[in-house]
Structure 1
């Protein structure tokens, strides 16, 4: 008689099914990768040229010399890719809930936390894949990176992707219908992206007297995602930003887990679909 599969085997099968489904669907849609890269590449090619002499970048950590504006932009554009993909993953969750796939997933004989963790892993993997392709294209466009520093950046890229995927997971709890998703995305994405050091150093805001915006940028988790990537690409470690990324990922995941719990979360308050 064949013994029953162990709990670890069940987890591996569930991870392969959930992550494999998302990655496989993405790989079967090359237009999705192209559309995901159009936006950051447009910023890198057009805005870097147009604003080259507008945004002067002082010698600030982690930089030890003056740099080209396109070099400064790359960490912010990597964060942009992860941010938009995190919201796209949120859209996928809302769609699955409306189509009934989420109900089937959450009734699987595995703890709800593991199922959502695999969803988070799938979203993070897709973000990492897109960021790596962008780095390859950026290198072809003349943005130079040291190979060893790129390897050291991979865990930071994955952690930043996990934070933004967890944010999307939490957001999917609140967005009940696909029709409301575009407004929710704009409300989250654009403030997080523009009130951050993605396109300009934060001292520019302070120098301009925009103290409120400067304070918001300092507490913006996306700012820490960008800064962690920026330091990693220079072979340095920003400990504060890494702690914010890890803590923010854990917090967003716990809130999402509570939201998807029909006994305690928002799904009970609003009625599960």
Structure 2
């Protein structure tokens, strides 16, 4: 009796396969976002509360010291950052969910590089976060920010860069975690201090030296500050108030330029992406 042997051939990984893998992972992230309306609404609640409730309350305390500027206008770039960052981290956290339900293993055994999966995940998280951020952009007029096409395009580009970097950071954290509880615990421990120390909710001028150092070494500071400078660049603000609310980030007394700040964010994002790829190559 002869037994026939059926040969199974696995296609070699190639650049075309990797590009298709990136597209599939990106498309999957978009579908998950579109089908999860609860996530869309819940991730907007916190920044909207901060902007309209906390911003209004704090604005009554500082109204006399910042004439002609609504404090909510100052907080607006920070709330964009908060929305984008939280959405990006949730997108990265879905890796843990995929691992629990076995879908991640199916992706890892596919004939594509694991780097392509990570890049697709980071791009997907960045696009989803920007879509969420667009909703906050639509509220600009309510806090005195003009609907300038150039401003909107600038903020979208800066949002995407920040979201990509944060998603890469989240993927790096999620690559070794086995359950969502652990991921969310680490996420809160890492993101909340970074968010509070980014200048999203208070000006960076005239800070105590220890707090100035913490804001300077915080990577999120270099994502929030370009957004604020873009917003204030489209406002008629008295020089004294602009110096108070929009001082920028300084190293040794020298104010950093926006391209340098965005370059730092891009470099950090590229480094985190490399770490995430290495983590995935070691994942079982």
* Corresponding residue to 1:17 among 24, 29, 32: 24
**Corresponding residue for residue 233 of structure 1:** 231
Gaps of 5+ in 1: 60-64
Output the aligned Cα RMSD: 2.5
**Corresponding residue for residue 41 of structure 1:** 48
**Corresponding residue for residue 213 of structure 2:** 215
**Corresponding residue for residue 79 of structure 2:** 77
**Corresponding residue for residue 242 of structure 1:** 262
**Corresponding residue for residue 126 of structure 2:** 124
Contact 2:92–2:122, Cα closer than 8 Å, also in 1: no
Deviations 1:17-59 (A, max 9, x none): 2111111111112221111111111111101110003357988
Counterpart CA distance in 1 for 2:264 and 2:60 is 32
Counterpart CA distance in 2 for 1:34 and 1:69 is 25
5 Å matches for 1:148-159? 148-159=150-161
**Corresponding residue for residue 86 of structure 1:** 88
Counterpart CA distance in 1 for 2:137 and 2:153 is 12
Gaps of 5+ in 2: 1-10, 235-256
CA deviation after TM superposition for structure 1 residue 198, in Å? 0.2
* Corresponding residue to 1:170 among 148, 169, 172: 172
**How does the TM-score come out when normalised to structure 1?**
0.83
Contact 2:47–2:82, Cα closer than 8 Å, also in 1: yes
Contact 2:145–2:231, Cα closer than 8 Å, also in 1: no
**Corresponding residue for residue 62 of structure 1:** none
Counterpart CA distance in 2 for 1:83 and 1:92 is 15
The alpha-carbon distance between structure 1 residues 93 and 57, as it changes in their structure 2 partners (threshold 3 A), is farther
21-30 or 226-235, larger mean C-alpha shift: 226-235
The alpha-carbon distance between structure 1 residues 57 and 119, as it changes in their structure 2 partners (threshold 3 A), is farther
Deviations 1:168-193 (A, max 9, x none): 11111243322212321220121011
The alpha-carbon distance between structure 1 residues 58 and 217, as it changes in their structure 2 partners (threshold 3 A), is farther
Contact 1:192–1:220, Cα closer than 8 Å, also in 2: yes
Counterpart CA distance in 1 for 2:143 and 2:182 is 38
**Does the alignment pair 1:53 with 2:70?**
no
Counterpart CA distance in 2 for 1:151 and 1:117 is 23
Counterpart CA distance in 2 for 1:170 and 1:124 is 15
* Corresponding residue to 2:106 among 99, 104, 107: 104
Counterpart CA distance in 2 for 1:5 and 1:233 is 49
Counterpart CA distance in 2 for 1:52 and 1:191 is 23
**How does the TM-score come out when normalised to structure 2?**
0.80
Q: How many residues end up aligned between the 2 structures?
A: 252
CA deviation after TM superposition for structure 1 residue 142, in Å? 4.7
The alpha-carbon distance between structure 1 residues 224 and 58, as it changes in their structure 2 partners (threshold 3 A), is farther
Counterpart CA distance in 2 for 1:13 and 1:57 is 57
Deviations 1:147-186 (A, max 9, x none): 2221233221111111111111111124332221232122
Q: Which has the larger radius of gyration?
A: 2
5 Å matches for 1:23-34? 23-34=30-41
The alpha-carbon distance between structure 1 residues 240 and 99, as it changes in their structure 2 partners (threshold 3 A), is same
